[in-house]
Amino acid sequence: MKFHILTLFPEMIEQGLNNSIIKRAAEAGHLTINAVNIRDFTLDKHNKVDDYPYGGGAGMLMQAQPVYDACRSLTEGKEKKPRVIFMTPQGRTFHQEMAKEFAGEEELIFLCGHYEGIDERVLEEIVTDEVSIGDYVLTGGELPAMVMIDTIARLIPGVLNNQDSAEEESFSGNLLEYPQYTRPEVWMDKRVPEVLLSGHHANIAKWRREQSEERTRVKRPDMYEKYLEEKKRK
Ligand code: 6GU
Give residue 22's pLDDT: 97
Query: How many A from CA of 10 to the centre of ligand 1?
Result: 17
Extract the residue ranges of the chain whose pLDDT is less than 50: 171
Atom of ligand 1 nearest to the CA of 140: 4
Q: Ligand 1: distance of its center to the CA of 133 in Å?
A: 6
- Where do the domains of the chain lie, and which CATH numbers do they carry? 2-153 (3.40.1280.10), 170-233 (1.10.1270.20)
Pairing of strands 129-132, 107-112: unpaired
Query: What pLDDT is stored for residue 88 in this prediction?
Result: 97
Q: What are phi and psi of 149, to 5 degrees?
A: -65, -40
CA distance 79 to 119: 27
pLDDT recorded at residue 173: 77
C-beta atoms surrounding 218 within 10 Å = 10
CA of 79 to the centre of ligand 1 (A): 31
Q: Ligand 1 pocket: which of 61, 123, 137, 150 to mutate (most atoms <8 Å of CB)?
A: 137
The per-residue pLDDT for 114 is 87
For residue range 132-154, what is the model confidence (pLDDT) as tens digits? 999 999 999 999 999 999 999 99
Nearest CA to ligand 1 atom 8: 88
Q: Which residues line ligand 1 (CB under 6 A)?
A: 87-89, 131-134, 136-138, 140-141, 144
